[in-house]
Structure 1
Amino acid sequence: MEEEEEQQQQQKKGKKKYYSIIVPTYNERLNIALLVYLIFKHLRDVDFEIIVVDDGSPDGTQEVVKQLQEVYGEDRILLRARPRKMGLGTAYSHGLKHASGDFIIIMDADLSHHPKYLPSFIRKQQETGASIVTGTRYVRGGGVHGWNLMRKLTSRGANVLAQTLLWPGVSDLTGSFRLYQRSVLEDVINSCVSKGYVFQMEMIVRASRKGYHIEEVPVTFVDRVFGSSKLGGSEIVEYLKGLVYLLLTT
């Protein structure tokens, strides 16, 4: 199995720029098929693969992904499951091990990150040579749809607090819709210690401290339609702990 994957990776690297899209999932049966359809729709002229890292979803997410493999091919849809929930950071590391792309795109499975923005990410990277292109809700053209006022204030407040303390040079620290040069992601991810929602903030802060070229693309974040949000009080506490940790260590 590993030998076959390595051969496929070598074949893909011989082509034009290749993109690996890593999508962590947990109970996303109702969203994953539409997400995959939209990715294929908006990236018709791009060479890419989708790597689904599912953490043992009990709702049948993996069965849907296997059906998608029958439609699009196992070389385009890779299911790389894990037995249980093990954290967002390790999900990206796991997906990266199986990725063939020169560039890695990370995005959520719940349709909050619309694939229509992917061409603008790719175009921005090609125009600027950026190491990282990150989606931002907090510049002209970006925004949030479907959140109540309290959640908007919480998100904005978290970003303002982080901006004030860490000065990372980007406007949206907690977003998780990004494109990385593969070597940059490998470098940054190895320097991170966070496992949960703090991981995204740590990734971009450490990348900034390392001097990588970061560009932003405005995106509108849409609250999930199906399923329940996985963000709760414990994640907010972890965010604040992570903020202090980064303040002391970067």
Structure 2
Amino acid sequence: MTPTSLSILIPVFNESQTIDELLQRVFAVELPLEREVVVVDDGSHDDTPRRVAQLQQDHPEWNLRFVSHGINKGKGAAVRTALQHATGDLVVIQDGDLEYHPKDLPNLLEPLLDGRADAVFGSRFLGGPHRVLYFWHFTANRALTLMSNVTTGFNLTDMEVCYKAMFRHVALSLKLRSDRFGIEPEITAKLAKGGWRLYEVPISYAGRSYEEGKKITWRDGVAALYHILYYRVRD
């Protein structure tokens, strides 16, 4: 069946400085599909919920849905909540900052639309323009991706990437459980176990500094390694 609709899943936590611009970009990009956007606020302490509510009021033409956790549960929990509210044939995860530009969505979706793939990951290391920031983030990412490849049999270049798109029935079949950043290796491991066809496409990347709001720390890297090994032996 040819997909006709897309749900863009956006987990947010304290993104009041970027959410307006992000949603403008998400709804401005030309896509060959009907789109809905599901924003899940993960217990923000700033003005993020009010900003999203204001955008809903200002743009009634947008198919924008908003769900609030009330308390912080983690990115993985927010993705699971968004997936529960999604109705599109396809789903894609979009971070709530401006590191990933929706202009890359058409290329990300192409292998799904033409029947080559069941899931598609973006890659920040396949030639797209990117802002140069932290050497240790790059090194840790490559190490985690290598470990993931060893345990899954994939040959990915960027397992930790945010941009992951797939058919909604594929996403639901994964039965995701991770609450925090372990969601990335969990998705990858379960796609491998399910035998789903996975593609990678190059994307651009405008990474944030910690002063600009970046939240990933070395603890998340340790947690990702744990989840890579955990989902190697567990469903």
When Rg is computed on C-alpha atoms for both structures, the one with the higher figure is 1
Aligned-partner residue type, residue 153 of structure 2: W
Judge conservation of contact 1:135–1:216 (CA < 8 Å) in 2: yes
In structure 1, C-alpha distance between the alignment counterparts of 2:225 and 2:8, rounded to whole Å: 29
SS of equivalent to 2:11? strand
The match for 2:147 is 161
Out of 21, 31, 34, the residue aligned to residue 18 of structure 2 is 31
The share of aligned pairs that are identical, in percent, is 26
Structure 1 stretches of at least 4 aligned residues deviating more than 4 Å after TM superposition: none
The match for 2:138 is 152
Out of 156, 179, 182, the residue aligned to residue 198 of structure 1 is 182
| Count of aligned pairs between the two proteins | 232
Judge conservation of contact 1:55–1:85 (CA < 8 Å) in 2: yes
Structure-to-structure mapping, 1:203-222, within 5 angstroms: 203-222=187-206
Structure-to-structure mapping, 1:79-118, within 5 angstroms: 79-118=66-105
In structure 2, C-alpha distance between the alignment counterparts of 1:54 and 1:119, rounded to whole Å: 26
Judge conservation of contact 1:169–1:208 (CA < 8 Å) in 2: no
SS of equivalent to 2:87? coil
The answer on 1:242 being equivalent to 2:231 is no
SS of equivalent to 2:205? strand
Give TM-score, length-normalised by structure 2: 0.90
Q: CA deviation at 1:169?
A: 3.8
In structure 2, C-alpha distance between the alignment counterparts of 1:56 and 1:196, rounded to whole Å: 13
Give TM-score, length-normalised by structure 1: 0.85
Q: CA deviation at 1:97?
A: 1.8
In structure 2, C-alpha distance between the alignment counterparts of 1:227 and 1:25, rounded to whole Å: 15
Q: CA deviation at 1:98?
A: 1.4
Q: CA deviation at 1:172?
A: 1.8
Q: Which runs of 5+ in 2 are unaligned?
A: none
Judge conservation of contact 1:168–1:209 (CA < 8 Å) in 2: no
Q: CA deviation at 1:44?
A: 5.7
Q: CA deviation at 1:122?
A: 2.2
The match for 1:59 is 46
RMSD: 2.1
The answer on 1:125 being equivalent to 2:109 is no
